Chain A
Amino acid sequence: MHSLWQGKAPIYEALQKYKSIRVVPFDVPGHKQGRGNPQLTEFLGEKCLTVDVNSMKPLDNLVHPVSVIKEAEELAADAFGAQHAFFMVNGTTAAVQAMIMSVCKQGDKIIMPRNVHRSAINALIISGTIPVYVNPGVNKRLGIPLGMSVSEVKKAIEKNPDAKAIFINNPTYYGICSDLRSITELAHRHNMYVLVDEAHGTHFYFGENLPVSAMAAGADMAAVSMHKTGGSLTQSSFLLISNRLSTGHVRQTINLTQTTSGSYLLLSSLDISRRNLALDGKNIFKKVSALAHYAREEINKIGGYYAFSTELINGDSVFDFDHTKLSVYTREIGLAGIEVYDILRDDYGIQIELGDIGNILAIISVGDRELALERLVSSLSEIKRLYMKDKAGMLDHEYINPDVVMTPQQAFYSNQHSVAITESTGYVCGEFVMSYPPGIPILAPGERITEEIIDYITYSKAKGCFLTGTEDMSVKNIKIVEE
């Protein structure tokens, strides 16, 4: 599939060479290959500290790559089927922001589902781009937001023919995919760029029988969290682009906000993980699929839980489903997902990715083992035996259509003052409120606060969701815009 060339890892190889010539460092970082910080070296390991180095000629420079980083980027582009791949060290957040800021400027419109990650709305605050939200719809039973249906996107395009871009999650946190190919064609016919948040979709590029990846679907840009399911270090990520964009322009945009001290730990982890997936990804994700499938069957056998998968596919708002995501609906046993999430961690020593009001989500990836999955399944069986209760009184989550009063940027930079959340009905919100994870805003700057939203926040908090986004660390007060 990929050329033999994929066996190379230029950044890794350059670092090996750097180590072997035993350079005497009179540059930063000041720990000088770990010698200046023995406790840190003891904790992280000498091998790690010796390659925590600065940009230099033999190691290239992330801001202006001309040698080994350039070559590693070309390899990554080849592996992902992109025109170019940028190594990102400020998280996928930076990749998402670079996508939006590369194609939208002050006053431009972007069409997006409301269930985007906060990083996308952050980009709107920075750039002054105006969001046109598409209602993603909700699966009523599970209470999870779905994908954008093609007809909804069509409507949004007709109403906003001047929009510059369409932003799509592929997949959502829960594994749901929109019809990326059709939406891409539609967008291109209307001269709009297609930007894809693939924070949870790295494996689409390497595994078989998985939803289509952004680059394969003809999209223009994709932010790919290599660290989430691809095995690289936390905070490392790829930004992929198609030939409809200029590599130079996108790099300039990235350099507006990305560090000039790119970490070689992160860069080498991207390089090595790309090599691993390019050479062995097919097998790895075959195993991941089998593990997820097995766990789902076993969880569904317990009864009460519903580990959902491709049966949700409806050809539209659930065009495809990422079956490596182990999402489990828990409300039938009378427990909110976040409650199961907490019990798993506190009583069983198992940390899963997220719990929301009705579901939990476990990530199955390149690093998983069968024995660990047996523990997860057995613990869920125990939690049902010990904690199952009547589900009456549990909140049904509906999609709350946001009333966008002003752009996120306008709201963020307006005069604001703080009021108790419980007394904020009717005001325009000046900041974010979200559960983290998943980090999808319940409220974003510029949106009208309603009774329904306050109820939802109160309920989430009572069930134990970790709420974030407000200046007030206790999330009791909220900044509102002075109108």
Chain B
Amino acid sequence: MELWYTEQHTDNVRFSIKVDKPLYSGQSEFQRIDVFNSKEFGIFFTLDGLMMVTEKDEFIYHDMIVHVPMATNPKIKNVLVIGAGDGGTVRELTRYNSIEHIDMVEIDKMVVDVCREYLPQTACKLDDPRVQLYFEDGLKFVRSKENAYDLIVVDSTDPFGPGEGLFTREFYGNCFKALKDDGILVNQHESPYYAEYAKSMQRAHKRIRECFPVCRVYQAHIPTYPSGHWLFGFASKTYDPLIDIDEQAWNNLDLKTRYYNTEIHKGCFALPNYVKELLVSADE
């Protein structure tokens, strides 16, 4: 018997992983949650059938969403994480002793519960004393905050389903208000390659640019995401990740990372021409 997990990357493209064993399947108030074990990618989990995290390549995503802003401003103390129910983002953040407090807001408690049980690799630091968990809509949570955070990390699903509010203009505007005067917003920014994802990416970029004076996009290679070519957004009120990166300070921390390094940091903002064009034309 052969068991395959298949994600439809477009109407005409499929991506499959041979499943060794299904581990969990459940329906929360918001979405369907599945966990599988596989030979190639280890344990992985999906929401409404879409790939979220695999044991084998999650380090790439979590390195890039956390270390880029942290190397830009090593003085970050208060962090808000939105989404990120698997815990990987929090795990990377807790490696910085300088961080004093992390609020993590995940709409779906069941995602966190399932990841705690099946994905300890990413969920292992959710009980760190600096971490406070909230199970509510990120859009609602951030609305009431003002001048409160040095960094907001938006580690969300795609902009359809429960994550839709996290790609809206009102959300980015509320984040701007919730950040301090030198605050940074980093977000999962979809992919430039397939048309549907590229549209979401353009929309997000346009809306962020309308809210923040500094607005850049960087990339990483994530094998299990559609096309493998994935983008992150870096927006801030003052810091420019290319000018303000404190290489020495970050390297002195001596954090062992498998993907991120300060050379990657400088290189990941260099984008292919077609992506640059998509970003420029995001207004149209």
Judge if A403 is at the interface, Cβ distance under 8 Å: no
Q: Are A375 and B139 in contact (CB under 8 A)?
A: yes
Q: Are A385 and B170 in contact (CB under 8 A)?
A: no
Contact of B139 among A347, A349, A378, A386 (CB under 8 A): A378
Q: Are A382 and B164 in contact (CB under 8 A)?
A: no
Judge if A208 is at the interface, Cβ distance under 8 Å: no
Q: Are B164 and A378 in contact (CB under 8 A)?
A: no
Q: Mark B148-180, 1 if CB is under 8 A from A, else 0.
A: 000000000000001011001111011001000
CB contacts (< 8 Å) of A379 on chain B: these are 168-170
Q: Are A374 and B177 in contact (CB under 8 A)?
A: no
Judge if B143 is at the interface, Cβ distance under 8 Å: yes
Judge if B137 is at the interface, Cβ distance under 8 Å: yes
Interface-central residue, A298, A348, A375, by most chain B CB under 10 Å? A375
CB contacts (< 8 Å) of B164 on chain A: these are 371
Shortest beta-carbon distance from A305 to chain B in Å: 13
Contact of A375 among B144, B165, B177 (CB under 8 A): B165
In the complex, what distance in Å separates the CA atom of A349 from the CA atom of B162? 17
In the complex, what distance in Å separates the CA atom of A375 from the CA atom of B177? 16
Q: Are A377 and B177 in contact (CB under 8 A)?
A: no
Judge if B140 is at the interface, Cβ distance under 8 Å: yes
Which partner residue on chain B sits nearest A381 by CB separation?
A: B143
CB contacts (< 8 Å) of B170 on chain A: these are 348, 375, 378-379, 381-382
Q: Are B173 and A386 in contact (CB under 8 A)?
A: yes
Contact of B173 among A301, A374, A382 (CB under 8 A): A382
In the complex, what distance in Å separates the CA atom of A313 from the CA atom of B197? 50
In the complex, what distance in Å separates the CA atom of A351 from the CA atom of B174? 20
Contact of B174 among A298, A370, A371, A382 (CB under 8 A): A382
Q: Count of A-B contacts with CB under 8 A?
A: 46
Q: Are B169 and A382 in contact (CB under 8 A)?
A: yes
- 8 A Cβ contacts from A345-367 to B: 347-349
Q: Mark B123-143, 1 if CB is under 8 A from A, else 0.
A: 000000000000001011001
In the complex, what distance in Å separates the CA atom of A348 from the CA atom of B170? 7
In the complex, what distance in Å separates the CA atom of A386 from the CA atom of B174? 11
In the complex, what distance in Å separates the CA atom of A370 from the CA atom of B165? 11
CB contacts (< 8 Å) of B139 on chain A: these are 371, 374-375, 378
CB contacts (< 8 Å) of A377 on chain B: these are 140, 143
- 8 A Cβ contacts from A287-343 to B: 298, 301
Contact of A385 among B137, B162, B177 (CB under 8 A): B177
CB contacts (< 8 Å) of B143 on chain A: these are 298, 377-378, 381
Q: Are B165 and A348 in contact (CB under 8 A)?
A: no
Q: Are A374 and B174 in contact (CB under 8 A)?
A: no
Which partner residue on chain A sits nearest B161 by CB separation?
A: A371
CB contacts (< 8 Å) of B144 on chain A: these are 301
CB contacts (< 8 Å) of A348 on chain B: these are 168-170
CB contacts (< 8 Å) of B140 on chain A: these are 298, 374, 377-378
Q: Are A371 and B162 in contact (CB under 8 A)?
A: yes
Shortest beta-carbon distance from B31 to chain A in Å: 12
Shortest beta-carbon distance from A48 to chain B in Å: 23
Q: Mark A375-391, 1 if CB is under 8 A from B, else 0.
A: 10111011001100000
Contact of B137 among A301, A371, A382 (CB under 8 A): A371
CB contacts (< 8 Å) of A385 on chain B: these are 173, 177
In the complex, what distance in Å separates the CA atom of A371 from the CA atom of B174? 16
In the complex, what distance in Å separates the CA atom of A298 from the CA atom of B162? 20
Sampled A-B contacts (17; CB under 8 Å):
A370-B137, A371-B137, A371-B139, A371-B164, A375-B139, A375-B168, A375-B170, A377-B143, A378-B139, A378-B140, A378-B143, A381-B143, A381-B170, A381-B174, A382-B170, A385-B173, A386-B173
Nearest 8 Cβ contacts at the A-B interface? A378-B170, A379-B170, A382-B173, A374-B139, A382-B170, A374-B140, A378-B143, A374-B137
Residues of B within 8 A of A (CB): 137, 139-140, 143-144, 162, 164-165, 168-171, 173-174, 177
